[in-house]
Amino acid sequence: MTESEAPPAKAPEGVSGAPALPQPVLEIASGYAFTGPALDLGALLWDGRCLPDVQIRIPLPMLNRHGLVAGATGTGKTKTLQLIAEQLSAQGVPVFLADVKGDVSGISAPGQENKKVRTRAGEVRQEWTPAGFPCEFYALGGMGHGIPVRATITSFGPVLLSKVLQLNQTQEQSLGLIFHYADQKGLELVDLKDLRAVVTFLTSDEGKSELKGIGGLSTATAGVILRSLTAFEAQGMSPFFGEPEFDTSELSRVARDGRGTVSVLELPAVQDKPQLFSTFLMWLLADLFHDLPEVGDVDRPKLVFFFDEAHLLFNDASKAFLDAITQTVRLIRSKGVGVFFVTQTPKDVPGDVLAQLGNRVQHALRAFTPDDQKALKSTVKTFPNSPYDLEEVLTALGTGEAVVTVLSEKGAPTPVAATRLRAPESLMGPVDPAALDRAVQASPLYGRYAEAVDRESAYEKLTAREAEAASSPAPSAPAESASSRGRGRKGDDQDSSVVEQVVGSGVFKSLARSLGTQIGREITRSIFGTARRRR
């Protein structure tokens, strides 16, 4: 049938020559013929050919329905993130990217045209124009090229910190009790030495009695936590915790020209600390969840957050941790935030979380081993029914190609589409480190976060108490501690120091009966047990 003979009603909008295409291709083309604003991913692949008339897209309002970008190493996942981030920025949506390998910083600089770029642009009918995008660069604790990002221990919370310290479930619950103790006694935990000081106090002769008052926390478990903290500090982790604490609202900034700011967290300097940086990413997301208002469904997301190396987050995670992630992902959509997990296969993501990810970009998978073959079959089962032989397609995709299904403007899954992706318009590689440092130091945020501040907190208060006790004769401090609780309720507290108030445990008389359920409510209320920011 010639083009002139084709019934015009059958041709999907924006698809020239569509009647000459096979019926499955027409159905795919119709599924991606959105009328509203959308991101352009690339052109359809069918029967070994690239069909530039059939453009594969994601509706902009659906970007807060979360997504997954997956694929084997070297298949082009990073360039896909770059492509999506560019178009989000151009449409005024702020983006957060974690740069694990150090090759995402190029998004701030115009790309370089070459034969590969020209060929790809011609294949997918892309009008390629080099462009850089507004960026802010961050670094955990200032390790690397970027504005330092820090969190206080109090804000980080016991569930996330347990993940970093690799504590078991019992130890995680005990750490929650210690946090609750510090909160009740006004001992602010700003950095690691604050928490270590509180745990040291609770394992000392003077503080052991306090352990009995906070739900049966054992001295042995407290000792394990203390050793974990000491080992953690010995690995050079101290700079990540402290003040000034990073304000996650910085991630939602828009540049003066109306484009969304791309916030790039530079992680090459901490590549050997995967538990730390993956958990820190979750803290950023949890903090955003606390602070952002409910907005419901919006025309465009307030922020799109790309969670790279997502499998690290879920490895050896406790049930409380996984439940908290699931709840965060489920609820943060109503805050206007979209979350994309980036990993190798969908099986890296727990089923309850995977069920929340409506947009899928699956790059090539390998099937060299029995485990690879099982992962391939599992991946295929996560896609809707498709006219493709997905097991064959997923192993045959080239670099910069992917199998795509997204949510339509009506919220229904689109047909599965093998896609040749567009080329990013920014630099596909890192910018010069010197240029990166200049950009960081020129940022208005640099002066706000560059220098660490060590104000008085739990460590200083407990140290002062210890020095005071050592310099004054107190022949029977333990006996007095046990016998003076009644007198402390008669008004002597007014003259007591903060740490002397810590020693008094009257506030915990009813705590032993209710603390288990109370901690559960706190974790549910703040999802990860993280503290709400005081602004």
Q: How far apart are CA 91 and CA 57, in angstroms?
A: 14
Query: Does residue 246 or residue 459 have the better pLDDT?
Result: 246
pLDDT of residue 470: 72
Q: Look at residue 86 and tell me whether its pLDDT is greater than 60.
A: yes
Q: How far apart are CA 73 and CA 117, in angstroms?
A: 21
Q: Which tokens in the block code for residue 138?
A: 């961050």
Q: How far apart are CA 279 and CA 151, in angstroms?
A: 12
Residue 263: enclosing H or E segment and its boundaries?
strand 262-266
Counting other chains too, the contacts that 43-46 makes at CB distance below 8 Å and 24 or more residues apart are: 43/123, 43/124, 43/125, 43/419, 43/420, 44/417, 44/418, 44/419, 45/401, 45/417, 45/418, 45/419, 45/420, 46/21, 46/22, 46/418
Residue 352: enclosing H or E segment and its boundaries?
helix 351-354
> Which of 21-25, 66-70, 273-277 shows the highest mean pLDDT?
66-70
pLDDT band at 218 (very low <50, low <70, confident <90, very high): confident
Q: Where are the alpha helices (DSSP H) in 124-212?
A: 153-156, 158-165, 169-184, 192-203, 208-212
Q: Are 217 and 508 in contact (CB under 8 A)?
A: no
Mean pLDDT of 137-158: 93
pLDDT of residue 8: 41
pLDDT of residue 527: 60
Of the ranges 54-58, 106-110, 184-188, 359-363, which one carries the lowest mean pLDDT score? Answer: 184-188
Q: How far apart are CA 176 and CA 416, in angstroms?
A: 45
Q: Which tokens in the block code for residue 17?
A: 């020559």
- State residue 475 phi and psi, 5-degree precision: -65, -30
Q: Using one digit for the tens of pLDDT, what is the confidence trace for 452-475? A: 998 888 888 888 877 777 776 655
Q: Is the dihedral of CA 6, 8, 10, 13 positive or negative?
A: positive
Which residue is it, tokens 């949506």?
Answer: 93
> Could you say which DSSP state residue 407 is in?
B
pLDDT band at 304 (very low <50, low <70, confident <90, very high): very high
Query: Does residue 213 or residue 379 have the better pLDDT?
Result: 379
Q: Which tokens in the block code for residue 64?
A: 């807060």
Q: Which residues contact 394 (CB under 8 A, 6 or more apart)?
A: 362, 364, 365, 376, 379, 380, 403
Q: Compute the chain's Rg from CA coordinates.
A: 27
pLDDT of residue 430: 93
- State residue 495 phi and psi, 5-degree precision: -100, 0
| CA 189 to chain CA centroid, nearest Å | 23
Amino acid at 222: A
Q: Look at residue 331 and tell me whether its pLDDT is greater than 60.
A: yes
Query: Does residue 271 or residue 529 have the better pLDDT?
Result: 271
Q: Look at residue 148 and tell me whether its pLDDT is greater than 90.
A: yes
DSSP strand pairing (49-59 vs 38-46): antiparallel
Q: Look at residue 20 and tell me whether its pLDDT is greater than 80.
A: no
pLDDT of residue 315: 83
pLDDT of residue 528: 65
* Conformational region of residue 278, where left means phi above 0, alpha means psi within -120 to 50, and beta covers everything else: alpha
**Exposed, middle or buried by CB within 10 Å (0-12, 13-18, 19+), for 434?**
exposed
Q: Look at residue 59 and tell me whether its pLDDT is greater than 70.
A: yes
Q: Look at residue 291 and tell me whether its pLDDT is greater than 60.
A: yes
Mean pLDDT of 280-309: 90
User: In 3D, which of 262, 246, 328 has the Cα closest to residue 289?
Assistant: 328
Distances (CA, A) of 479 to 198, 470, 482, 483: 21, 17, 5, 6
Of the ranges 169-173, 217-221, 528-532, which one carries the lowest mean pLDDT score? Answer: 528-532
What is the full DSSP assignment across 427-473?
A: -SSPPPHHHHHHHHHHSTTHHHHSS-B--S-HHHHHHHHHHHHHHS-
Which residue is it, tokens 């997990």?
Answer: 341
Mean model confidence pLDDT for the chain: 84
Q: Using one digit for the tens of pLDDT, what is the confidence trace for 28-46? A: 999 999 999 999 999 999 9
User: In 3D, which of 362, 300, 413, 414 has the Cα closest to residue 56?
Assistant: 414
Q: Are 304 and 172 in contact (CB under 8 A)?
A: no
